[in-house]
């Protein structure tokens, strides 16, 4: 699933192509909005909010999309051939000069701009947004001391944007077991600040480079490296599925997918009990 910085990059590119332009044709290939026509409306802006994209028009309407696991937006010139399967197209926004095509989007809906809080109001401070507030994020983390830090860091109600990559990488860089309870971690502010710093560094590329090395295969410390030697100590990097707290299940289907997420870690650099003592509070 794309991380928040990838969505931020997508919003930036889509805004550069569409903002200030009048839509000449729209095509929503989802049953609920198949007859919706926004032709004639001007795109005011394209904004990212965590992992959500919001296309706002001068008629007070918003096209709300979410990539979920496999979604993507492509930009084309009017005469350019689309690169993708036609049956995977979920939305098309066409102006005189550009065509935005959304493939495999997990969510596509058109709503009143004033109604946006109904779909994104549950989100915490956005790591890459103007509402960022490290103190508020730390407060939300501390509100549930027994919760596993790995699940808490990607709870979009705590902070909007980070996903499995940043969860795994930040826990590694801070030497913390992803299954450690939030209440056992002294420097939560340091962890949250590191999430912010890493995502800011990738906000123009969306590449999730955390090592500072952009060469292929060297971008990350542990994420995606199960079975390989830790870059610090040589211990074999491990991978496990981490069950999220049941309290996030209501929003997980929108923001994170299944209520079980992949985690990568080095058992030597991140000492702890690991997934063997995982405590699920699902009911």
Give the Cβ contact number of residue 125 at 10 Å: 21
Residues 6 or more apart whose Cβ sits within 8 Å of residue 49: 120, 123, 126, 129, 160
Nearest CA to 25 out of 83, 97, 87 is that of: 97
Residue 282 known to be catalytic: no
Residue 114 known to be catalytic: no
- Compute the Cα dihedral for 149, 150, 151, 157 and give only its sign: positive
**Mind giving me the DSSP string for 47-103?**
EEETTEEEEEETTSEEEEEE-TTT-EEEEE-TTSPP-S-GGGEEEEEE-SS-EEEEE
Q: Residue 240 forms beta bridges with which residues?
A: 263
Q: Where are the alpha helices (DSSP H) in the chain?
A: 4-18, 117-120, 134-142, 149-153, 164-173, 188-201, 249-255
Say which of 49, 51, 94, 167 is annotated catalytic: 51
- State how far Cα 220 lies from the chain centre: 17
Residue 13 known to be catalytic: no
Question: CA triplet 98, 100, 102: central angle to 5 degrees?
Answer: 170
CA separation for the pair 138, 259 (Å, rounded): 23
Q: 64 and 46 in contact (C-beta within 8 Å)?
A: no
Residue 3 known to be catalytic: yes
Rounded-to-10 torsion of CA 18, 20, 22, 25:
20
Say which of 56, 94, 261, 275 is annotated catalytic: 261
- The catalytic residue positions are 2-3, 51, 261
């Amino acid at each position: 699933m794309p991380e928040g910085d990838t969505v931020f990059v997508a919003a930036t590119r889509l805004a550069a192509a569409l903002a200030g332009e009048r839509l000449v044709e729209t095509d929503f290939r989802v049953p609920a909005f198949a007859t919706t026509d926004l032709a004639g409306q001007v795109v005011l802006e394209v904004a990212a909010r965590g992992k959500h994209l919001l296309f706002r028009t001068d008629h007070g309407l918003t096209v709300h999309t979410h990539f979920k696991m496999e979604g993507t937006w492509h930009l084309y010139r009017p005469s350019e051939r689309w690169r993708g399967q036609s049956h995977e197209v979920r939305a098309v926004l066409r102006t005189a000069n550009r065509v935005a095509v959304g493939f495999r989007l997990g969510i596509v809906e058109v709503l009143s701009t004033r109604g946006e809080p109904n779909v994104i109001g549950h989100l915490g401070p956005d790591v890459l947004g103007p509402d960022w507030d490290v103190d508020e994020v730390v407060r939300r983390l501390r509100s549930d001391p027994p919760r596993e830090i790995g699940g808490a860091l990607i709870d979009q109600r705590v902070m909007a944007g980070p996903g499995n990559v940043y969860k795994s990488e930040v826990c590694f860089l801070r030497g913390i077991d992803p299954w450690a309870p939030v209440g056992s971690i002294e420097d939560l502010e340091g962890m949250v600040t590191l999430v912010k710093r890493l995502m800011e560094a990738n906000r123009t590329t969306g590449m999730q480079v955390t090592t500072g090395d952009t060469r292929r295969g060297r971008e990350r410390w542990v994420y995606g490296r199960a079975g390989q030697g830790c870059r610090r100590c040589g211990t074999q990097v491990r991978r496990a599925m981490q069950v999220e707290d049941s309290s996030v299940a209501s929003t997980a289907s929108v923001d994170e997918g299944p209520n079980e997420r992949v985690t990568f870690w080095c058992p030597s650099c991140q000492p702890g009990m690991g997934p063997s003592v995982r405590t699920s509070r699902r009911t």
